[in-house]
Structures are given as structure tokens and as C-alpha cells.
Amino acid sequence: MDNCNLFAALRAAFPQDLDGIAVETDTGLAYSWRDLERGTAMIANLLASLKLEEGARIAVQVEKSVEAMMLYLATLRAGYVFLPLNTAYQKAEIEYFVGNAEPAVVVCSPANFGWVSKIAFQAGTHHVFSLGDARDGSLLERAARHSDRHQPIARRDDDLAAILYTSGTTGRSKGAMLTHGNLLSNAEVLKTYWGWRQGDVLIHALPIFHVHGLFVALHGALLNGSRILWFGKFDPKRVIERMPDATVFMGVPTLYTRMLAESRLNKVVARNMRLFVSGSAPLLLETFNEWKERTGHTILERYGMSETVMLTSNPYEAKDGERRGGTVGFPLPGVGIRVRDDEGKDLPAGEIGGIQVKGPNVFKGYWRMPEKTKEEFTADGWFKTGDVGKIDERGYVVIVGRSKDLIISGGYNVYPAEIEGYLNDVPGVAESAVVGVPHPDFGEVGVAVVIPKPGARLEPDKLIASLKSQLANFKIPKRCFVVDQLPRNTMGKVQKNLLREQHKALFA
């Protein structure tokens, strides 16, 4: 049986000359392909020395660094399951993820070692390492004692490679289980579809704890043996400065609007670029058009999610059609997409309904949630994305909304139910509603509307401060209002659409 280990496929694509530069960082470091080969081998050997059980989870909450990327690759190489966590997550959030996933190994920032290790040990994790963004921490110290040779562990197509937590509509996060086959098949399709070629250089400026930065961007470059210009944090000025040395860029819409705000963005700096990809949130037509005018390039918008990796893409080749702003393009080769109404009837072109998908990229299910998994699939095996849209007459998929109550802010997902749960726990709060409203920088942001209990006095600033002490910063509503009542329909249900309408111009 062939080894379907994703790492083995990525490794096979490294250039012949391992001494060439693989990654250049914004801090002035250069890593060769040999560095990646040896570094991942040493970390994989360290993991192997821990004698973990089959399918062990390696949970990682660390700042972005090339070593953090190597830890991901080493986890695949050693045959374990990678569980990346947003660095913004706070104590209660980490407690939930670690409690739910029961990782065998937890890796955290040196600065967080005290509280994270306590949570991990309480959850029964035996191994806690630290990894900083300046090559510091116990993980690398320990890995340095291991051999720099390692044979990738054999994995089957449907063996787990990663678990990505995505928030649920009820406020409880679910771990999407992705296999080596899901990730590799998607990366291979994108390599061809987006025309990855020799000489490509990727600007990598996204976080590496979500699908876009960890899989789409990283696998794209590695599977093509392409050099990466690595940014620890997105900085529009510095990215524009390096643009002449690059050919491919991937970002969420906020990254594009922030670069458009820079006077130095023009056709000259973008002259060597061949592809700008946008996704994770809707790209405004205005941004799409302005980008074309300023740089001469047409952004290619694509659509995906944690459970499915990439689903659709606007065409790369002109012969396949034009890139149409406001659409997410065609289903990728091998991906099935259909639009159905609430009764489960297929809708014809142009009609709006729930988007359902199928393909080798679709995940295996939610970690330890068989019932939830069952609910999200149709009887004939299609995954219900929760996105609402249509397929137009020419076959382009257009997303018009979401049936899931979700806010996408700067490319991060925020589930109102989770925030409302925290607000409702604040003494004096009777009820709350969180809605998404348009925002010029983040696309959409949360606004909280809170009802006090009779006689209670609530101050918006204090409510926000209370949330800040418990939740990841991107989940914090940008404004909070204390009011006497919420708009309701005749059934007593809060009419969030009216709240959204009422507050839609807050940040205009």
C-alpha cells in the first residue's frame, strides 16, 4: 500500500537542491529546504520518542513562526493529529478545547506556559512544551537531542491529519476532523487549478491556525517547491515592499482593504505578481474593482470552510471564463455543489437555497459528536454548509448569506450564541442579542444589545471589559447598547434582522 501521508507528498515536492532557500522571514532569517527536512525530522523523532498512542492529538497555541510551521509538518510526518489553536483564545476557551480533544501533547508560548500547562495537566495531558517565535522554548531544546533523519510514518488516505475547531451555532465548538486524503486531494487540485509553476514565490501573511494560512497557502507553496516570504504578522507596508519579489498572495478581504489604504500600492510593485487570491469572507465588489484599477490584477475569489477545505474558485485561466467579482466561481474539479430548498428539493440555476457539497475534500465528521455530524449531512451523504446562495446561469456560485447565525469579522468566525452566553452570565443581565453589522476594516463586526434585569444598572464599557477578560479579542463586540427591550416576532423570537437594520450604519 502506498503511503498517503500528506507530509510525504509535500516532502517529495521539495526541489532537488535542498540548499536553496525555502523560507525568508520578515525578521531577516532564511531557511533552506534542508533546514525544513532536518527540523521536521528532529521534531518528528521527539514526538515518536514520547510513545504516544495511535491518533494522538498535538494541540498547539503558539505565535506564528517557521518553527511552528515545522511543528505542523513534523506532526504529519510522525503520523499524529495536529490541533492548531488561535493565539487569541483565553483560558476558558483553551480549557474547553483541551478538555474536549484530550491532546497527548500541548505546545504553548513560553509566556503562557504557567496557565496552559495547568489546564493541560488537569485534562490528563502528559507532555507540555513551549515554543516561542524567536526559536526559544523547550520544544526545540528537546528536539535538538534527536536525530535529523526520519522516515515519514505510513498513513492511509482516511487517517486523521488535523482537527480544526469551528464554533457552533449553539455556542459550543466542534472539532472538524480532516484526513490526509482530504488535505492532499484539495492541495493537488488547487496546484493545477491555480497554475502553480516553477519560480513562484508566495507571500505568506496569514495566521497558521486556520484553513487559509495553514492549508491553502502553505500546502500550495510546499507542494510546488516554492519559496515563501514569511510574515509573522500582516503589515501592509512591509508586504507591499516585498511584493516585487513575489508572484502569489493569499489573504482575507481585510488584508486587501488595508493594502489599498497604502499610497505605495500600484502597478509597479505588483508587476511580477501572477495571482492574488481572496477568501474566508465576502470580498466587496468595491474592493475587487479598486484592486484591479490600482494594481492591474483581478483578484481570484474562492470559497471554502474548515470542514471542507476549498470548494469553489473563480477561474485562473481566461479560457475557463472571467473572474467575476461578487461570485466565488465554479466548483473545483471533483467537488459537487448543489443548492436545495428547505424541503430538500434541488433548485434550478438562479434560485437561492442552502448550499450542499460533496467530494474527497469533505471532512470525516465532528470529533466525538456523531449526532451533530449526522445532522449536518443529508441522507445521501452531502454536507450542509450552512451557507445560502445560488448557482447562476453561467455556473458561478454566488453566496448571498448564511442560515447559520454567524458573523465573519476580518476572516474570523464569531458565533453570536457564544458571546450572548457570556453576556447573559454577567450579574444584572436579563438577556442579550449579538448581531453583525458592516465595518469598513473587518467587513463585519459584532454589536451587542443587552437588556438589564429589573432594577439592575448596566454599563456598556463594563460589559465589554467583562467579555475581554474571558474571550478571544476578535470575538468582542465593537459596540454595546443597554436597552429596555428587544424586538420580537409574534412567537416571541428576537428579530435580529431588525437589530441589524437599526445598527447597520454604526461604522459607515
Instruction: Using CB under 6 A, list all residues that contact ligand MLC.
Output: 206-207, 210-213, 234, 252, 254, 279-280, 304-306, 409-412, 442, 445, 473-474
Select the span of 155-163, 226-234, 277-285, 447-455 touching ligand AMP (CB under 6 A).
277-285
Closest approach, Cβ 26 to ligand AMP, in A, equals 25
* Amino acid at residue number 450: V
Closest CB to ligand AMP among 349 and 400?
Answer: 400
Site for ligand AMP in 203-262 (CB under 6 A): 211
| CB contact at 8 A, 298 and 292 | yes
Residues 6+ apart with CB under 8 A from 312: 302, 303, 304, 328, 329, 330, 331, 332, 335, 337, 397
Distances (CA, A) of 34 to 76, 122, 272: 18, 38, 27
Residues 6+ apart with CB under 8 A from 187: 6, 9, 215, 219, 220, 223
Site track 384-423 with ligand AMP (rule: CB under 6 A), x = hit: -x-x-----------x--x-----x----x----------
282 binds, among ligand AMP, ligand MLC, none (CB under 5 to 8 A by kind): ligand AMP
Closest approach, Cβ 404 to ligand AMP, in A, equals 8
Closest approach, Cβ 234 to ligand AMP, in A, equals 17
Residues 6+ apart with CB under 8 A from 343: none
Closest CB to ligand AMP among 228 and 252?
Answer: 252
**Per rule CB under 6 A, is residue 279 in the interface with ligand AMP?**
yes
| CB contact at 8 A, 14 and 225 | yes
**Per rule CB under 6 A, is residue 303 in the interface with ligand AMP?**
yes
| CB contact at 8 A, 73 and 7 | yes
Closest approach, Cβ 258 to ligand MLC, in A, equals 7
Closest approach, Cβ 201 to ligand MLC, in A, equals 20
DSSP string, 379-406: TTS-EEEEEEEEE-TTS-EEEEEESS--
Closest approach, Cβ 320 to ligand AMP, in A, equals 18
Angle ∠(253,473,496) on CA atoms, nearest 5: 70
Closest CB to ligand MLC among 32 and 166?
Answer: 166
* Amino acid at residue number 447: V
Binding stretches for ligand AMP (CB under 6 A) = 166, 211, 279-282, 301, 303-306, 328, 385, 387, 399, 402, 408, 413
